[in-house]
Amino acid sequence: MTTASQPSLGLRGFGALESLDARTRSALLDRTTSIDPAVRDATAVILADVRARGDVALRDMARRFDGVELDDLEVPRDQWKAALDDLDPALRQAMERAVANIATVHQAFVPSAVEVSPEPGIVVGRRPDPLERVGVYAPGGRAAYPSSVLMGAVPARVAGVREVVVASPPGSDGLPAPVVLAAAELAGADRVFALGGAGAVGALAYGTRSVPRVDRIVGPGNAFVAEAKLQVSGVVSIDSPAGPSELLVIADAGSSVDTVAREMLAQAEHDPRACVVAVVPSELFARQLRDTLQRTLPAQQRRQIIESSLAGQGAILWADTLDDAVAWANTYAPEHLLLCVTDADSLLARLRNAGTIFVGETSSVSFGDYMTGANHVLPTGGLARAYSGLSTVDFFRWTTYQRVDRSAAARLAGDVDVFARAERLFGHADAARAWVEDR
């Protein structure tokens, strides 16, 4: 019986995967990062204002959106150090461990230069060059996210980026949250600015008198931050279009219902628009899972957020076979994919579209969010079909070079001459023919 303290659990979808109606299927799959026109238009106005008025606009926005007067947009380095000195020792130890693991993992991802010779006398090479300056956005609002600072700044440092700039919204004291400042110090950031929302993105993209223009902006944020990143992507590189957190769990008959429920609750508490779906082996398992969520929900500290998430984008589906679950996962393309199955490694190679895959029941998504060293800045909205999670690779650009010796130039000239004339580029043909031997 449902009581006032235990409301009926709402879900967007509950049923057999094979008989999912078209409307529910579409609602679960269509998780695009496109924003409603009001947010899009408001973001465009903010970006135009930052571009036109720079620091003045940023101070006005801090006053309007954050309720603070900012004399200086940049946070002095001694404030970071003080925040780190005042940090709870247990939290500092955890953050230092995370920094070490992120650095170790991302060092292994650093790309190498390559050269190839398709013919004698021809060399084509590709060399990774670190970006000059990157901006790392760390959200504020409902909570402070020092982990976002670590996930952006540490890989950038490992990649050899010359300058790492952090932006995070100011609190009532005019400063980002102390844990964010402490994280910036631990991660080796170079500068921190008390800036939030679309205005921060605009400042990093266009540059102002106080804020340097960056080459790439990374890090999660709210709807306005996500929209701003999309709108400035023509003038600055971004990590990927981002939206609310997502989790897809695949379970089999040997899975723990309690474990699946915990993982769903953990991701649903991120945001009222978080997307949380479980594909389970039977209707009986599905009902047990729904009952477990129902029973444990009242004790959750972020209960209202979880309820909104589950009702809006949550689903419990049952599949006839693991093959069907794998096919659904590759179509759904989740940010996080957790394999709560007996032989998780057997599925790993068959799963192509996910931001990151957690292999096995003990591989909690929470471990990846904070401590394994993998990056938690990941594609959402089904964009894992084409985008990858943030890594050191994202902090390089590639320089391609090519070398052709005299003998190879003579051999290439004839075919290039024919090719160029076919495209009516006669100057190209003349430039090639100049190297024909005995001309």
Once rounded to an integer, what is the mean pLDDT over residues 225-249? 93
User: How does 212-247 read in b/e, with b if 16+ C-beta sit within 10 Å?
Assistant: bebbbbbbbbbbbbbbbbbbbeeebbbbbbbbbbbb
CA distance 344 to 180: 36
pLDDT in tens, 189-209: 999 999 999 999 999 999 999
Task: Please report the sign of the dihedral spanned by the C-alpha atoms of residue 411, residue 414, residue 415, residue 421.
Answer: positive
- Express as a percent the part of the chain with pLDDT over 90: 92
**Cα–Cα distance measured from residue 285 to residue 291, given in angstroms and rounded to the nearest whole number:** 10
Torsion over CA of 366, 89, 80 and 211, rounded to 10 degrees? 0
d(CA 56, CA 79): 23
CA 343, CA 318: separation in Å to the nearest integer? Answer: 18
Please say if 283 is a catalytic residue. Answer: no
Q: In what order do the strands lie in the sheet with 356-359?
A: 13-16, 315-318, 275-280, 246-251, 336-340, 356-359
Residue 439 pLDDT > 80, yes or no? no
Residue 142 has pLDDT above 70, yes or no: no
65-110 residue pLDDT tens: 999 999 999 999 999 999 999 999 999 999 999 999 999 999 999 9
Please give the domain boundaries of the chain with CATH numbers for all domains. Answer: 13-31+243-373 (3.40.50.1980), 37-238 (3.40.50.1980)
When pLDDT is averaged across residues 264-272 and rounded to a whole number, the result is 95
Q: Which residues, other chains included, contact 129 with Cβ-Cβ below 8 Å and sequence gap of 6+?
A: 396, 397, 398, 399
One of 335, 361, 376, 437 is an active-site residue; which one?
A: 335
User: pLDDT band at 62, cuts 50/70/90?
Assistant: very high
Residue 227 bears catalytic tag: no
Strand partners, 6: 3
The rounded percent of the chain whose pLDDT value lies above 70 is 96
Is residue 178 scored above 60 in pLDDT? yes
Confidence band, pLDDT 50/70/90 cuts, at residue 113: very high
User: Which one of 185, 246, 307, 336 is the catalytic residue?
Assistant: 336
pLDDT of residue 9: 85
Name the 3-class secondary structure at 237.
Answer: strand
CB-based contact 244:336 (threshold 8 Å): no
CA dihedral 260, 263, 264, 265 (to 10 degrees): 120
Residue 48 has pLDDT above 60, yes or no: yes
Tell me the one-letter amino acid at 108: A
How many other C-beta atoms are found inside a 10 Å radius of the C-beta of residue 266? 19
pLDDT in tens, 368-401: 999 999 999 999 999 999 999 999 999 999 999 9
Q: Round the average pLDDT of the chain to a whole number and report it.
A: 94
